[in-house]
A and B are shown apart, each in its own frame.
Chain A
Amino acid sequence: MSGIPEALSALPAIGLVFQFIGYIIANLTIMSHTTVAVAIPITLAALCGVMCERSGVVNIGLEGIMLVAAFVGWMVGVVCVGILGPGDPLPFFGVTAPLLIGLVAAIISGMLISLLHAWLSISLRIDQIISGTIINIGAAGITGYMYSLVSGLSPVGAGAFTQYQVPQGVADIPIVGWLINAILSQGPIGLTCVVIVIFLQIMLFRARWGLRTRAAGEHPRAAETVGIDVIRLRYKNVVMSGALAALGGAWLSMESVGNFNAGITQGRGFIGLAAMIVGRWTPIGAFGAALLFASATALSNSITISPPAGDLGSVMANVPGEFWEALPYIITIVVLAGLIGRSIAPAADGQPYERESAS
């Protein structure tokens, strides 16, 4: 008896689910594009985390590295525009000299901050979370200080890279057209990111570097006995990975919008960290997790811009807008809490390594 009213009350809910699916299909092209775009800085941060933690160094300074790189890329662009002028954009990606110089500067700045983290956590063996926290506080402080000095002078930036114009035919390919379109219709950093995901996945599990990195992260002492220089390897990984997080930062200020504002990263480095954990410390997994988190953002954007009609619309109108904005973070926590038991960190992750001869 009691089952019938329940079934009846469930019917409108099923209707809503179908409406929701219909809404997503109707907005698939724009939403899938947004999802991939939003996932890019998160993925790059997560890849930086994967490279560090697979070799045994926890890096929560990702957020700070991205913030500094975003600022440096934009700032160097501003200076170059001042000296060289804006320059003529090349036919692909709207590349100009100031943009290119800014990007290189951003990458170098990210590697330098990573070098600081490497020195603190590998050589000085300081608690790696504290080292990362110092980088985050310092990055927010220094970029905030510099930006509040510079913004008063109404600076002219170098603009942003433009995205690849996918030929019209691609989006019309049945079934997979939207997906190819979403992945390809990105800027240079975004496309590079997709390539790096695949490259790093292969390198980590099929190449000598990956084997050594994983050995250093799982059992550094054993790695050392077979002739791997653990300290040197960790340094190399942490510094190189800084370039990845820096690309993520540069994406924010040079590809997404051609501008900077204080705290532009908005926790993307931390979400990247969560994506790394959810993706079980693999590049492909991290990319997948980043896409999941990003899809929440894409959904919330889409609902704000074009609210769904009908019953679904009236239900969603009662949900506060803040809920949709908080959704990516809520999903992150839920997935993290649900998956964590099955997602195991490298054994020596976060433990400083000391050679036996040195102790």
Chain B
Amino acid sequence: MSHLRSQRTAGEAIGSSLKLLAEPAAAFALALLVGGIGILLFSGLVPGHKPFDIGLPIDAYAALIGGVASFDGLTATLVYATPLVLAGLGVAVGFKAGLFNIGGRGQFLMGAVGAMAVATAIGAQAGAWVTIPLALLAGGLLGGVAGFVPGLLKATSGAHEVVTTIMLNYILVFVTYWAISGPLALPRAPQPITADTGNLHASLPILIGRDGNLGIFIALAAVPIMWFLLYRTTIGFEIRAAGANPDAARYGGMKTRQLIVMTMSLAGFMCGLAGAVTLLGVVHQMAPGYDTTIGFDAITVALLARSNPIGVCFAGLLLGAMRAGAQVMQIRAGVPAELVDALQAIILLFLVINVLRRFLARRSGRRPSLPVPALPGTVDATLDAEAAQ
């Protein structure tokens, strides 16, 4: 099957790239519909609404869109999209190598802690030109360490990265609490809290509107860099080869163990950078309980984008818009912002079951074909295993 895919005609190529856009779009539209029905079913629980109030989903989605469709709303979208794109790239590069990085949460927190540590240590003396790049770098590196550990465990002992990254997430949450209430705590504060980066020459400059900070451009720059790395360098080729067929990559002379460690470190670096950018650009200060949902959000972004860096940019913007709009929706329509988390899962569900393709196949009376692999490598490997039997 895989050899047939490589010999397709130009027409099929155009068709498949259209399908690449059509499938996420269809999944998104259907998820909104299902979400709307969900809002409708439980509208009686929203204060001031009757059960099965058809007006509520309409109000909610109007508020969601209205929250995005303004200059401030668009800026907010970009700000929300920034860490999603950075961490999404981190998860995507893992997928390319056949690695499932669920450690985004811990890596993001380490990024914030690393950036805060640099800001606390040198921010008061050094200027912004020194502090900000160093803080971003430290955040990325500490995030990279958080990715390196599960990578090393996988390469040396074979411990599956899904379980180790999740365990590490919980450990790093406690490390973050400890850092905030210990070494990074502001002296003589009544409650444990870190300093404000604004007082340490470490806040990212605002470049667009009220809160569009430099981080947006960092994320924007990371997209072509990651694309170049994956598709135009030897390392990128090796990462993709190891993901597509680990055995072939190993027989081809690639050091797959080193690739695993390196890819997980790179994935951790990107998620750490997301944490650093969010701290320096948006939250500025951490109190105990500081946490993030970026881990799973980034997985959604990478899956929606089918691990393509350019796709990550658009998927990040889409999810960023939903997050920005959800805040407005919660305030104006009283529908909890957690709706976005549920919508994420429904979008992914429709995406992986290929609703559009199944529907079209049923219309034309054909059997639906195998779903397109969301994780490069997994289905190819299965096909190889079947061919070997």
The answer, among B164, B170, B171, B178, for a CB contact under 8 Å with A320, is: B178
Q: Mark A143-156, 1 if CB is under 8 A from B, else 0.
A: 01110111011000
Instruction: Indicate if A311 sits at the interface (CB-CB under 8 A).
Output: no
> Could you tell me the distance between the alpha carbons of A153 and B334 in the complex, rounded to whole angstroms?
14
B175 touches A133 (CB 8 A): no
Task: Kindly state whether residue A130 has any CB partner on chain B within 8 Å.
Answer: yes
Q: Contacts A133-B296, A267-B170, A333-B153 given; indicate if A126 touches B353 (C-beta within 8 A).
A: yes
Q: Which of A85-132 contact B (CB under 8 A)?
A: 120, 124-127, 129-131
- CB of A60 within 8 Å of the partner chain: yes
Q: Give every chain A residue within 8 A of B370 (Cβ-Cβ).
A: 125
Check if A138 sits within 8 Å of B342, measured CB to CB. Answer: yes
Q: What range describes how many residues of B lie at the interface?
A: 35 or more
Binds B, one of A193-201, A228-236, A322-330: A322-330
Give the residue name and chain of the A residue nearest to B358 (CB).
Answer: A124
B342–A341 touching, CB < 8 Å: no
A148-B338, A153-B45, A337-B153 given; A134·B352 CB < 8 A: yes
Residues of B within 8 A of A153 (CB): 45
Q: Which residues of B are in contact with A by a Cβ distance under 8 Å?
A: 38, 42, 45-47, 100, 102, 153, 156-160, 162-164, 166-171, 174-175, 177-178, 182, 296, 299-300, 303, 336, 338-346, 348-349, 352-353, 370-371, 373-375, 378-379, 382, 385-386, 389
Give A67 Cβ to nearest chain B Cβ, in Å. 12
22 residue pairs A–B, Cβ–Cβ below 8 Å: A126-B374, A127-B379, A129-B100, A129-B375, A133-B102, A133-B299, A141-B340, A141-B343, A148-B336, A270-B166, A273-B163, A274-B163, A320-B178, A322-B177, A322-B178, A326-B171, A326-B174, A330-B171, A333-B159, A333-B171, A336-B163, A354-B386
Q: Does A142 contact B (CB under 8 A)?
A: yes
Apart from A142-B342, A267-B170, 4 more pairs, CB < 8 Å: A133-B102, A137-B345, A139-B345, A277-B163
Q: Name the residue of chain A whose CB is nearest to the CB of B353.
A: A124
| Complex CA distance for A149 and B40, rounded to whole angstroms | 13
Given the known A-B contacts A146-B42, A333-B167, A333-B168, are A130 and B341 also in contact in the complex, defined by CB atoms under 8 Å? Answer: no
CB proximity of B195 to chain A, nearest CB, Å? 20
Mask: chain A, 324-359; 1 = CB below 8 Å from B; 0 = not: 011001101100111011000000000110100001
Complex alpha-carbon distance, A148 and B46, angstroms: 10
CB distance B382 to A351 under 8 Å?
A: yes
B107–chain A nearest beta-carbon distance, Å: 15
Contact status A332-B167, CB under 8 Å: yes
A354 to B371, CA, bound (A): 14
A140 at the interface (CB under 8 A from B): yes
Q: Give the residue name and chain of the A residue nearest to B173 (CB).
A: A326
User: In the assembled complex, how far is the CB of residue A359 from the closest CB belonging to chain B, in whole angstroms?
Assistant: 7
How far is it, in angstroms, between the C-alpha of A31 and the C-alpha of B382 when the chains are bound?
47
Nearest CB on A from B50, distance (A) = 15
How close is A162's CB to chain B, nearest CB, in angstroms?
30
For residue A50, give the distance in angstroms from its CB to the closest CB of chain B.
15
Q: Find out whether the CB atom of B158 lies under 8 angstroms from the CB atom of A341.
A: yes
* B168 near A338: Cβ-Cβ < 8 Å: no
Most buried by A among B102, B166, B175: B166
Question: Which of B167, B296, B339 sits near A270, CB closer than 8 Å?
Answer: B167
Residue of B with least CB distance to A150 = B45
Interface of B is mostly: helix
| Known contacts A126-B353, A326-B170, A326-B175; A337/B374 CB under 8 A | no
Chain B residues, CB < 8 A from A329 = 167-168, 170-171
Question: Which among A134, A135, A138, A152 has the greatest number of chain B C-beta atoms within 10 A?
Answer: A134
Question: With contacts A125-B371, A320-B178 known, is A340 near B158, CB below 8 A?
Answer: yes
> B370 — nearest CB in chain A belongs to which residue?
A125
How far apart sit A266 and B170, CA to CA, in the bound complex (Å)?
9
Q: Are B170 and A352 in contact (CB under 8 A)?
A: no
Quick one: closest B residue to A328, CB to CB?
A: B170
Q: Does B378 lie within 8 Å of A127, measured CB to CB? A: yes
- Residue contact A129 to B153, C-beta cutoff 8 Å: no
B159 touches A337 (CB 8 A): yes
Per-position binary interface string of chain A over residues 268-280, scored 1 when its CB falls under 8 Å from any chain B CB and 0 otherwise: 0011011001000
* Contact A137:B42 (CB < 8 A) given known A120-B353, A337-B164: no
Q: Is the CB of A322 within 8 A of B174?
A: yes
Q: Are A134 and B100 in contact (CB under 8 A)?
A: no
**Are B159 and A336 touching (Cβ within 8 A)?**
yes
Question: Nearest residue in B to A331 (C-beta to C-beta)?
Answer: B167
- Residues in chain A near residue B168, CB distance under 8 A: 329, 333
The smallest C-beta distance from B212 to any residue of chain A, in angstroms, reads 28
A186 near B: Cβ within 8 Å? no
* Cβ contact within 8 Å between A351 and B385: yes
| Contacting residues, chain A, for B340 (C-beta < 8 A) | 141
Contacts of B46 in A (CB 8 A): 149
What are the 3 tightest A-B residue pairs by CB atom distance, in nearest-first order?
A: A141-B341, A138-B345, A141-B342
Residues in B whose Cβ lies below 8 Å from that of A133: 102, 296, 299, 348
Q: Does A32 lie at the interface of the complex (its beta carbon under 8 Å from any beta carbon of B)? A: no
| Min C-beta distance of A224 to chain B, whole Å | 12
Residue among B153, B156, B171, B175 with max Cβ neighbours from chain A (10 Å): B171
| Chain A residue at smallest Cβ distance from B45 | A149
Which residues of the other chain, B, contact A267 by a CB distance below 8 angstroms? 166-167, 169-170
**Which chain B residue lies CB-closest to A153?**
B45
A323 contact set on B, CB distance < 8 A? 174, 178
B182 touches A320 (CB 8 A): yes
In-complex Cβ contact of A141 among B42, B338, B352 (8 A): B338
Residues of A within 8 A of B344 (CB): 137-138, 141
Q: Report the separation of the CA atoms of residues A317 and B231 in the bound assembly, to the nearest whole angstrom.
A: 53
Complex CA distance for A317 and B338, rounded to whole angstroms? 39
Residues in B with CB closer than 8 Å to A185 are none
Alpha-carbon distance between A145 and B41 when the two chains are bound, in angstroms: 13
A337 near B167: Cβ-Cβ < 8 Å = no
B166 / chain A contacts, CB cutoff of 8 Å: 267, 270
